[in-house]
Amino acid sequence: MQFIFDPRQLLHDPELYFRRGAFIPHPEQPQRAILVRDALLAAGHTMEAPRDHGLAPIKAVHDDGYVDFFMTAWPDWVTATGTTVPAVPNYHTDRRNWRVPKGVIGKLGYYSTDTSCPVVEGTAEAIYWSAQTAIEAAERVRSGAADHIYALCRPPGHHAVQDASWGFCFFNNAAVAAHHLLGRFQKVAVLDVDTHAGNGTQDIFYRRGDVVYVSIHTDPSDYTPFFMGYADETGEGAGAGATHNLVLPVGAGVDDILASYDAALDIIRASGAQALVLSLGVDMAKDDPLSLVGMTTEGFRIGAARVAGLGLPTVLVQEGGYLGPSLSDNVVAFLGAFEDARRA
């Protein structure tokens, strides 16, 4: 399979993450993308670089001020604080009821929901080129140049809401790709198979009817993202009925997960979607350090073949999947099975 990647995505390299009252090594490391890239090349997949599509496709789903802030946050932080320590917010607010402050310290809190997205020197370039990778893949599908293509996006994106970072995510690559596909297709489906609910993607499309959002994920009642991703959240206004959260219990095994794949695919078929964005998290793997369920490499192969069976033009966008033993094996298995099923 052809895949898109830019090495500038490796420049975001946070060392630590404040979680549960302590600093721990940050799970979202550049090595994630390096391992996957090298494994895909070794397996015979072909890599190409994205073109620069600018900020407009990103701003089509994200708040202008939010996007502009993260493009200059690092130099603004250094100037304001006189330090080069990572920029981590220590103020947070309800963005809908308060004003956007003037200074970088206040803005960092305004445009962030948690401490998982520290800004470092290379953050702006990394998140920009992660988004460009998704846009390039979507543009190739939108133009008809590709029927399916994989965007090796890193940092990931599906937790980023319209105007705030969240859960390692700055720009919502899958949402940007889905909106871009609407330039050709009248209705697009987003299928999210990451072990965490894609609350950002849900939030962005919750009141829209042109994008159907279906997510398979672990119960968020005591698990990231905590505040969204429940089965009774189904959309509002024009988006009523277009959001579907298929919630897995902690400890779910391969059979449970694949049954949810089948249910998700039935929803997408019934929706009339003409194209698909797959938020491909492989952190459901039983050996992933953030997983509470038990997916296997063979399970990923089976799931991939079933998704391919939809026959829809598809952009596959990398989300989670952390430094567990099977990370690169699972991505290679998924993409290989998807490609084989399409050729069959």
Structural domains in the chain, CATH included, are 2-51+126-343 (3.40.800.20)
pLDDT in tens, 316-334: 999 999 999 999 999 999 9
- Tell me what pLDDT residue 81 has: 95
The conformation of residue 212, written as its DSSP 8-state character, comes to E
Note if the pTM is more than 0.85.
yes
- Tell me what pLDDT residue 97 has: 72
- Tell me what pLDDT residue 95 has: 62
Share of the chain above pLDDT 90, in %: 94
Confidence at 65, pLDDT banded by 50, 70, 90: very high
Q: How far apart are CA 114 and CA 92, in angstroms?
A: 8
Nearest to 95 by CA among 17, 1, 163: 163
- Tell me what pLDDT residue 225 has: 97
Catalytic residue among 26, 148, 158, 159: 159
Residue 244 has φ and ψ, to the nearest 5°, of: -135, 115
Residue 307 has φ and ψ, to the nearest 5°, of: -65, -40
Judge whether 181 and 278 are in contact, CB under 8 Å: no
- Tell me what pLDDT residue 96 has: 63
Reading the block at residue 45, the tokens are 């997949």
Q: How far apart are CA 310 and CA 276, in angstroms?
A: 9
Reading the block at residue 43, the tokens are 């397996």
Residue 341 has φ and ψ, to the nearest 5°, of: -65, -35
Residue 159 annotated among the catalytic residues of the structure: yes
Residues 177-209: b if buried by 16+ CB within 10 A, e if exposed: bbbbbbebbebbbbbbbbbbbbbbbbbbbbebe
